[in-house]
């Protein structure tokens, strides 16, 4: 069978696509990179927010149209949309051949031979995948250390899509990283819904620090990147470990969501403005060249003009290197669904205003970057990223001369406009 994969949503979902694609390849199936050349299209969906649901359904309609025209024989759907809406997916799209849950992905070769819905409960434990391939560039890969979430933020659907927090055993993570390194991966991005909670349910306390220490001992390790830390769980010990090694990019993604205490309380974020500021100040002190990435939600129920102004002031003050701005989406099943909503017009205006504030911040950062030397990684001969940029998420840079793909090197910033920067590779 020739199969084509459409993988939607976050890097955590992408790792699932990599695992079941590798399983099919190991069983003799062929992966193609054009839907028109496939016998079957497999769509791994996101269902986190309304826009993701809309995108997933558009992709399903696209694939079913190819099936109707006789270009492909079968269409299968899996992922978060299936976990969230269960039988509704098959009933809304009766021409789908197979609708299967995330857990069923482990038996994908048998699943895709069947018709109808195959829905099984989420796995209670997480383990190293039997098969794994990269759907990103060969030199960079995501390593999922945990799945699910226990934080229960008031706006978030993840707990009832992905279930409770489940960590992968440390020994298995180290083994998975070792295999990645042996396969030529230079940059390993550690991901989970909350990496800083890693190991809590397995070992009785968070063990990200210990995990990092074990990974740093691996022979041939290029660089580690830490994604999705929860603000009050990013410790000074983690910061000092990062500062003391060149094997961890001085970068961390900490989705803060807001800074005004009334909003954080309604969001059920379990941390307040003072804790957030202490964490960020600590990181800037312990790791002076730290690159901070975050996300903010504007227009959350009850957000006042005062709350929003506090957020704008905070963004100006802390100067995040990369920042995502999201208008609040009202999602059924979440605690925030029943709260008093902010008008759509106000949400649009606030999103635009905050993006403008960040644009001015980037202008200031760019002025400071000119002429400085940064560590970079080549994603192609003439383009790549600095240590400040995570793959598929943040900005890219161009190089003044060709560089070997996958190489990690020092380069001088010679031009910067917005998120577009040009670097001059330095001779070693």
Its pTM stands at: 0.92
Give pLDDT, residue 136. Answer: 83
pLDDT reported for residue 353: 98
Percent of the chain whose pLDDT exceeds 90:
92
User: Tokens in use for 105?
Assistant: 């992905």
pLDDT at 175 (0 to 100):
97
Q: CB of 188 within 8 A of CB of 212?
A: no
Residue 120 has pLDDT above 90, yes or no: no
Question: Average pLDDT for residues 121-134, to the nearest whole number?
Answer: 82
**What number is the average pLDDT over the span 310-319?**
98
The mean per-residue pLDDT over the stretch 304-309 comes to: 98
Q: What is the pLDDT of residue 126?
A: 85
Confidence label for 216 from pLDDT (cuts 50, 70 and 90): very high
Q: What is the DSSP string of 29-88?
A: -EE-SSGGG-SEEEEEE--SSHHHHHHHHHHHHHHHHHHHTTS-SEEEEEEHHHHHHTHH
* 373 pLDDT higher than 90: yes
Which range has the worst mean pLDDT, 100-104, 296-300, 303-307? 100-104
164, two tokens:
């409770």
What's the CA gap between 245 and 395, in Å, rounded?
24
Is residue 131 predicted with pLDDT exceeding 80?
Answer: no
What sections of 217-343 are H helices per DSSP? Answer: 236-243, 261-267, 273-286, 305-318
Cβ burial, residue 229 (10 Å; 0-12/13-18/19+)? buried
% helix / strand / coil in the chain, to the nearest 5? Answer: 40, 20, 40
Query: How close are the terminal C-alpha atoms of the chain, in Å?
Result: 47
Specify the pairing of strand 146-147 against strand 166-167: antiparallel
Distances (CA, A) of 18 to 129, 130, 140, 235, 371: 10, 11, 13, 31, 39
Task: Find, among 152, 122, 141, the residue nearest to 179 by Cα.
Answer: 141
- Supply the Cα-derived Rg of the chain in whole angstroms: 22
Average pLDDT on 126-145 reads 88
Residue 415's pLDDT band, with cuts at 50, 70 and 90, is: very high
Average pLDDT over residues 21-45: 96
Domains annotated for the chain, with CATH where assigned, are 2-118 (3.40.50.12160), 140-359 (3.80.30.20), 373-425 (2.40.50.140)
Mean pLDDT value of segment 112-136: 85
Q: What is the dihedral of CA 82, 86, 89, 92, to 10 degrees?
A: -160
Q: How far is the CA of 162 from the CAs of 66, 82, 204, in angstroms?
A: 30, 11, 21
**Residue 134 pLDDT greater than 90, yes or no:** no
Q: Is 80 exceeded by the pLDDT of residue 428?
A: no
């Amino acid at each position: 069978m020739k199969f084509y994969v459409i993988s939607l949503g976050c890097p955590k979902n992408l790792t699932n696509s990599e695992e079941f694609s590798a399983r099919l390849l190991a069983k003799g199936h062929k992966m193609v990179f054009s839907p028109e050349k496939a016998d079957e299209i497999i769509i791994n969906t996101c269902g986190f927010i309304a826009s993701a649901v809309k995108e997933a359904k558009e992709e399903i309609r696209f694939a079913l149209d190819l099936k109707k025209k006789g270009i492909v024989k079968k269409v299968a759907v899996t992922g978060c949309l299936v976990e969230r809406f269960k039988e509704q997916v098959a009933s809304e799209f009766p021409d789908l051949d197979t609708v299967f849950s995330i857990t069923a992905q482990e038996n994908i070769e048998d699943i895709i031979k069947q018709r109808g819905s195959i829905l099984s409960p989420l796995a209670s434990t997480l383990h190293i995948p039997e098969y794994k391939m990269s759907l990103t560039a060969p030199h960079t890969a995501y390593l999922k250390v945990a799945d699910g979430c226990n934080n229960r933020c008031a706006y978030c659907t993840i707990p009832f899509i992905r279930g409770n927090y489940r960590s992968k055993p440390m020994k298995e993570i180290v083994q998975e990283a070792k295999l990645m390194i042996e396969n030529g991966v230079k940059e390993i991005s550690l991901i989970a819904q909350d990496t800083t909670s890693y190991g809590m349910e397995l070992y009785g306390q968070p063990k990200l620090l210990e995990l990092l220490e074990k990974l740093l001992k691996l022979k041939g390790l290029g660089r580690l990147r830490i994604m999705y830390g929860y603000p009050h769980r990013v410790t000074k010990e983690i910061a000092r470990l990062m500062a003391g090694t060149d094997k961890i990019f001085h970068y961390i993604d900490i989705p803060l969501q807001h800074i005004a205490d009334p909003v954080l309380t309604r969001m059920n974020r379990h941390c307040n403005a003072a804790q957030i500021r202490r964490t960020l100040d600590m990181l800037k002190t312990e790791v002076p060249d730290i690159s901070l990435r975050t996300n903010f939600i504007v227009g959350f129920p009850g957000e006042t003009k005062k709350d929003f102004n506090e957020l704008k002031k905070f963004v100006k003050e802390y100067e995040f290197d990369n920042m995502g701005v999201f208008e609040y989406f009202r999602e059924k099943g979440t605690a925030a669904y029943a709260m008093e909503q902010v008008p759509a017009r106000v949400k649009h205006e606030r999103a635009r205003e905050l993006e403008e504030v960040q644009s001015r911040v980037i202008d200031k950062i760019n002025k400071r970057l000119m002429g400085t030397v940064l560590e970079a990684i080549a994603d192609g001969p003439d383009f790549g990223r600095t240590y400040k940029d995570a793959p598929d998420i943040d900005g890219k840079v161009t190089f003044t001369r060709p560089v070997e793909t996958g190489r990690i090197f020092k380069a001088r910033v010679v031009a910067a406009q917005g998120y577009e920067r040009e670097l001059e590779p330095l001779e070693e």
